[in-house]
C-alpha cells in the first residue's frame, strides 16, 4: 500500500492501518468493513487529504498509469466513480475518458455517481491552471463533486478539495 500524506499526521495514519489489520483478522484476510461498506484492502493506494481519505484501487491506478504513459504529450481525463462512506472515498473506476491537447481536455462529469474528476498534466506541474480552478469550482458547486485530481506522473496525483479552490481572491467551499 502506498501512502501519500497531506493534512494528517503519520501517527494517526498508523492507528488507522492498525485498525484495518485488526478488522482483517476478525473478518477474514483481505477484507475490511467500514460502516456498511465491505471491500478488499490488499490492493489499494491511499491518498489522505484534509477532508477525505481517498483510496484508489490498484486496478484503477494501473489504468491511470497506463493512460499517462501512453499519452505523454496530451492531457487525458475522466470521471471518477466508487464508494463514499462519511469521509472515506474508495475510487474504483474511471468513465467518460477523453483525450485532449497538450494543455486542455474537456470533461463531461455531471452524473450523480461521479465523485470527482481526474485529468493529467503532461508538464508534470502540480499547480492548477486558471481553467482548472474554474472547472473545479463548477464541479464542486454545480455537481456536488467531493474531489478533483491532477495526475502529474506515474503514481503521482494531487488531490484538490472545495476548500483548496480560490477564484478572484475568494475562497469557495
CATH of residue 122's domain is: 3.40.140.10
Asked whether residue 7 is domain-assigned, the answer is no
Q: Which domain holds residue 146?
A: 47-171
DSSP code for 8? S
Asked whether residue 59 is domain-assigned, the answer is yes
Domain count along the chain = 1
Question: Residue 57: its pLDDT value, please?
Answer: 92
Asked whether residue 28 is domain-assigned, the answer is no
Average pLDDT per run of 10 along the chain, which is 173 residues long? Answer: 40 48 45 37 49 88 95 95 91 94 89 91 88 87 88 90 58 39
* Cα 170 to Cα 7, 112, 127, 137, distances in angstroms: 22, 27, 18, 11
Question: Residue 111: its pLDDT value, please?
Answer: 87
The Cα 154–Cα 132 span in angstroms is 20
Question: Residue 49: its pLDDT value, please?
Answer: 55
Would you give the end-to-end CA distance of the chain in angstroms?
31
Question: Residue 12: its pLDDT value, please?
Answer: 42
Asked whether residue 106 is domain-assigned, the answer is yes
Question: Residue 142: its pLDDT value, please?
Answer: 87
Question: Residue 20: its pLDDT value, please?
Answer: 55
Question: Residue 29: its pLDDT value, please?
Answer: 42
- The grid coordinates listed for 48 are 489522505
Asked whether residue 13 is domain-assigned, the answer is no
CB atoms within 10 A of CB 155: 14
Amino acid at each position: 500500500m502506498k501512502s501519500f500524506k497531506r493534512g494528517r499526521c503519520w501517527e494517526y495514519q498508523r492507528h488507522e492501518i492498525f485498525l484495518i489489520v485488526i478488522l482483517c483478522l476478525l473478518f477474514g484476510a483481505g477484507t475490511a468493513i467500514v460502516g456498511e461498506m465491505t471491500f478488499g484492502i490488499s490492493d489499494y493506494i491511499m491518498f489522505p487529504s484534509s477532508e477525505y481519505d481517498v483510496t484508489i484501487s490498484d486496478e484503477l491506478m494501473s489504468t491511470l498509469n497506463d493512460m499517462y504513459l501512453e499519452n505523454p504529450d496530451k492531457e487525458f481525463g475522466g470521471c471518477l466513480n466508487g464508494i463514499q462512506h462519511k469521509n472515506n472515498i474508495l475510487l474504483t473506476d474511471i468513465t467518460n475518458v477523453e483525450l485532449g491537447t497538450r494543455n486542455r481536455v474537456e470533461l463531461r462529469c455531471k452524473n450523480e455517481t461521479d465523485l470527482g474528476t481526474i485529468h493529467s498534466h503532461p508538464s508534470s506541474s502540480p499547480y492548477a491552471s486558471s481553467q482548472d480552478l474554474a472547472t473545479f469550482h463548477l464541479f464542486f458547486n454545480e455537481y456536488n463533486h467531493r474531489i478533483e485530481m491532477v495526475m502529474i506522473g506515474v503514481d503521482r496525483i494531487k488531490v484538490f478539495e472545495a476548500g483548496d479552490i480560490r477564484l478572484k481572491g475568494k475562497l469557495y467551499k
